[in-house]
Amino acid sequence: MTVDKPGDLHRIRVADLVQPFASESAGNGPKLAPRPDGALPAVPKGFKVGIYAENLGKSRLPLRAPNGDIFLSEAAKGQITILRSTDGIKADGVSVYATGLSRPYGMALWPAGPNPTYLYVANVNSVVRFPYSVGDLKAQGEPEVVVDKISDTSGGHVTRTLAFSKDGKTMFLSVGSATNIASRIGAQPSLPLAQWEAKYGLGAAWGEETERAAVLAFDVDGRNRRPYANGLRNCVGMLVHPQTGDLFCSVNERDELGDNLPPDYVTRVKQGGFYGWPWYYIGAQEDPRLKGIRPDLKDKVTTPDTLIQSHSAPLGMTVYQAPKGAKYAFPKEYEGDIFLALHGSWNRGIRTGYKVVRVMMKKGVPTGQYQDFMTGMVLSDRDVWGRPAAVEVAQDGALLVVDDGGGVVWRIVPGK
């Protein structure tokens, strides 16, 4: 069993990558165990952790409203809920905001600032929006469909994540692949390759993978649908960095190449960029299972910024930026860094993930390093008692961690 502890630093380099199939592919999913009596996650010295909300089930993605309310998407229930706290320390109210949705995951308020007018929600097969006024605990009427027919919903990867550009004019939507390595796409796209890529973007796969493993872009009303970037197997965490305006993705890379291949990653995502899937991984490393199919792409793959331990399953992330006047603001060195939830491995003999890490940045640019921040949920190579799924910064500066394994939202603040 790997023993992680807060403060551990990691850096994985392309030059250090092992060969495909250097180890056998493991099927080692976790067994969820009850949290031991009195057990809390481990956090760095100078911080303390407590429970913000519990008994939540499989809540996933949090979103903070301007008044401090925390929206939570609950895909399995098809609903959005709201946590409200009078003291900021613990949620004392849970309201069902909307029901009848189709596996909702990503959410975003628009426009940015103190008075958004819409809550956007990404269903598995559409994007909808609700009229919103700050303080609403119930949806104001039925949702308006902004984007329909996102993708074929067969296969895996049903999370859809939303973000708006810094100027508020572009809506980004991430859509994960249907399969592990595009194993059922067939030999050729339905159009000549040059026409296909002109329509769907550089490196885009076809068949059931059309407009998948991709970030799509739209105007805020859902019009002007267009490709933004391809080759991102499953961009679950997606955000626009508030300082630089850069779009970032946290990506679950492919399985079944061995314990230590390929790394997952966090990266800036450039318009027109191609990040490898399914033909290549971590730059120009060709997947041996698709050898020789797209040699023309080898020198066109963008290598991601920060490589994460293979099979860690990075999910939700947030840039740490303390709200003005925050009582529990983190030390200044955390400002602008990314906190990332690692949900935890199944395709690895020695378990990894099940923690929150800090992706180190310098003036908005990833350094390639990441640091363990919240750990301690792994009991053995079989049992875990928590699975971090997403993070958000609370109105008072606390870091909230959604743990969908334990049904808890953890609250981390500076202190003894």
pLDDT at position 277, please? 98
Instruction: Identify whether 3 is part of a domain.
Output: no
Per-residue pLDDT tens, the chain, 416 aa: give them.
Answer: 668 999 999 999 999 999 999 999 999 999 999 999 999 999 999 999 999 999 998 999 999 999 999 999 999 999 999 999 999 999 998 999 999 999 999 999 999 999 999 999 999 999 999 999 999 999 998 999 999 988 766 678 999 999 999 999 999 999 999 999 998 787 789 999 999 999 999 999 998 899 999 999 999 999 999 999 999 999 999 999 999 999 999 999 999 999 999 999 999 999 999 999 999 999 999 999 999 999 999 999 999 999 999 999 999 999 999 999 999 999 999 999 999 999 999 999 999 999 999 999 999 999 999 999 999 999 988 899 999 999 999 999 999 999 999 999 999 999 97
pLDDT at position 34, please? 94
Q: Which residues fall within 8 angstroms of residue 187, CB to CB, at 6 or more apart?
A: none
Instruction: Identify whether 178 is part of a domain.
Output: yes
Contact yes or no for 119/106 (Cβ under 8 A): no
Q: How many domains does the chain have?
A: 1
Q: Which residue range forms the structural domain that includes residue 379?
A: 9-414
pLDDT at position 152, please? 61
Instruction: Give the CATH number for residue 353.
Output: 2.120.10.30
Q: What does 127-170 look like in DSSP terms, one character per residue?
A: EEEEE--TT-SS-SSSPEEEEE--S---SS---EEEEE-TTS-E
Instruction: Identify whether 1 is part of a domain.
Output: no
Q: What does 303-348 look like in DSSP terms, one character per residue?
A: PPSEEE-TT--EEEEEE--PPTT-TTPPPGGGTT-EEEEE---SS-
Please count the other Cβ atoms lying within 10 Å of the Cβ belonging to residue 284: 15
Instruction: Identify whether 52 is part of a domain.
Output: yes
Contact yes or no for 380/21 (Cβ under 8 A): no
pLDDT at position 59, please? 92
Instruction: Identify whether 4 is part of a domain.
Output: no
Instruction: Identify whether 378 is part of a domain.
Output: yes
pLDDT at position 153, please? 60
Instruction: Identify whether 2 is part of a domain.
Output: no
pTM: 0.97
* Chain centroid offset of residue 136 CA: 26
Backbone angles phi, psi at 58, to 5 degrees: -100, 40
Closest CA to 109 of 97, 122, 118, 121: 118
